[in-house]
Amino acid sequence: MSVLWTSAEIETATGGRASTSFEVTGVTFDSREVQPGDLFVAMPGTVYDGHKFVEGAFAAGAAGAIVSHPVDGPHVLVGDTARALEDLGRASRDRSKARIVGVTGSVGKTSTKEALFAALDRISGGRAHRSVKSYNNHTGVPLSLARMPREAEFAVLEMGMNNKGEIAALTRMVRPHVALITAIAPAHIENLGSEEAIADAKGEIFEGLEPEGIAIVPNDTPHRDRLVRAARRHADQILTFGSGDADVHALHAVRSSEGGSLITAALLESEVTFTISQRGEHWVSNALAVLAVVEALGLDVGVAGLALADLGGLKGRGERHQVQLDGGKFLLIDESYNANPASMAATLKSLGAERDIDRRIAVLGPMRELGSHSDDLHAGLAPAILDAHVDRVILIGDEMRPLAEKIVGRVGLDLAKDVDEAAEALLSMLKPGDAVLVKASNSVGLAKLVERVKEGVACSI
């Protein structure tokens, strides 16, 4: 692997002092992720201080560390390791010639980021970079920047927030050439109070746009004009995507024989027909957002379409498992990574569109950070469940009781106090031909249910 940072460059970026000369090929602040050649940043923590893991990081092959007190092994000594990581991220951004895309939104930002990376990586012949997982906060964004290869031609960086002002700080670090907002929905409404405030907080992403920067805004939101006004203050050009009069919109979108969608999209001056492997109408919107970015960058939308067709399942975001049972298989749809009212409704609609199945089962856990709106927004999922013709629903925890009250007697219903109890309930009812959707906010821990169900079924056959 090529050298990512030398100790001299880390010194210059952070103002620290190197104990010796060294080179690194990667960066991490999680000792469990250390690969040979990495730089380990010993971050301060509320529970564990990263300095406790420096020895283990070196044992795992780290080539150097950033620390705030001397340690055994090659290191750069700084006053504040969290600040040093930010400085390293800024230095990476300063030296890079890559065209940067910033992505945020209430729904679909990680999925769209992954799809956009796949398109740009294919177009550039493997010279695209992205933030991994959901590294989209005050530590994840500088880490993603610090990891950006010198030779990268494109980078896709996700930015998230819980409160006003957080994206403004991140976007000024990222300094995107293109800034994309995927959607506005009542995620984090507990802290921000209203969807209008959420739109304003997401619109902060435009504040970091580079000169001649381009803003990309969803057309299918009542807050479109609010976002456009925010973009006008910073963007040289604004593109919309979605339905109706959007600059990038679908002329036709029909279900493909493989279960995804066949789409003909109208761009600014051309049309393109392509397929996407991912299922659900929300993925049509994601794909149009990707095309809008590719169009904004002046790149080949046909190649982007090929990348979307080849995009595989994303862990926790619609990954599909055909799991063997005695007498046949059942379909397990893993949407365990995150949930808000918009994404819940979209994935339930997708479950309703599943073909060649006998029963639809939904295992649903709470949507978090909804504050005083929680009861109403959970209860508001009832129409989506009924419209999807779900046969049986397993609801987890007290937060789901308002929804249970809306659907009791209309759908087969099981109430579970926790994830373990929900897993037992699901394992007891599974039959060949079932389609099972699993979805909740990540903090609920439904990924554990997915693994337990797969293992439990394997043990039983």
Which residues line the annotated binding site for ATP? 105-111
Helix (H) or strand (E) holding 348: helix 341-352
CA 281 to chain centre: 17
Task: Note whether 277 and 257 are within 8 A (CB).
Answer: no
3-state SS class at 86: helix
Contacts of 335 (CB under 8 A, 6+ apart): 316, 317, 318, 343, 347, 437, 438, 439
Q: Which residues are annotated as a binding site?
A: 105-111
Q: Which residue, 389, 388, 402, 382, is CA-closest to 348? A: 388
Look up residue 158 and give its amino acid: E
**Residue 406 is encoded by which pair of tokens?**
């809306």
CA 90 to chain centre: 22
Q: State the number of CA atoms in the 13 A half-sphere of 318 facing the CB.
A: 27
Task: Note whether 159 and 171 are within 8 A (CB).
Answer: yes
CA 336 to chain centre: 12
Q: Which residue, 422, 423, 346, is CA-closest to 385? A: 346
3-state SS class at 353: coil
How far, in Å, CA of 271 to CA of 268, rounded?
8
Look up residue 247 and give its amino acid: D
How far, in Å, CA of 142 to CA of 139, rounded?
6
Task: Note whether 278 and 260 are within 8 A (CB).
Answer: yes
3-state helix, strand, coil in the chain (%, to 5): 40, 25, 35
How far, in Å, CA of 54 to CA of 41, rounded?
9
